[in-house]
Amino acid sequence: MWAYGSKAHSIIGVGIIVLAIADFNGDSVADYAGLFVSVDGKKAALFAFVSSEKGILVAHQLENFESLDWLKVYSTALATPGIYKTACGKGYFEC
């Protein structure tokens, strides 16, 4: 189970949980991506909620983090539209 909002903020500190709003698939409808922390506060997951042709948001779990240690080192930012190579595409790890 994943938490978002005040309960998640109280687990690991305000400003760690992020929500990005943008048109990720180019259909002129707002999509969302968020970093959610498990209710027990021990792991996190990155989800994207992308609009579909039927007009509903479809949830996609993009990444699962078994530890929150990386939150002390990395951050996120909304990128400008374009084509980007992923970390696995750059060879940092096997896709």
What pLDDT shows up at residue 50? 93
What's the CA gap between 51 and 69, in Å, rounded? 32
Alpha helices in 6-85 (DSSP H): 6-12
Asked if pLDDT for residue 13 goes beyond 60, the answer is: no
- Please report which confidence band the pLDDT of residue 29 belongs to, taking 50, 70 and 90 as the band edges: very high
pLDDT greater than 80 at residue 51: yes
Number of other residues whose CB lies within 10 A of the CB of residue 44:
24
The better pLDDT of the pair 48, 17 is held by: 48
pLDDT for 14 equals 33
Report pLDDT for 17: 65
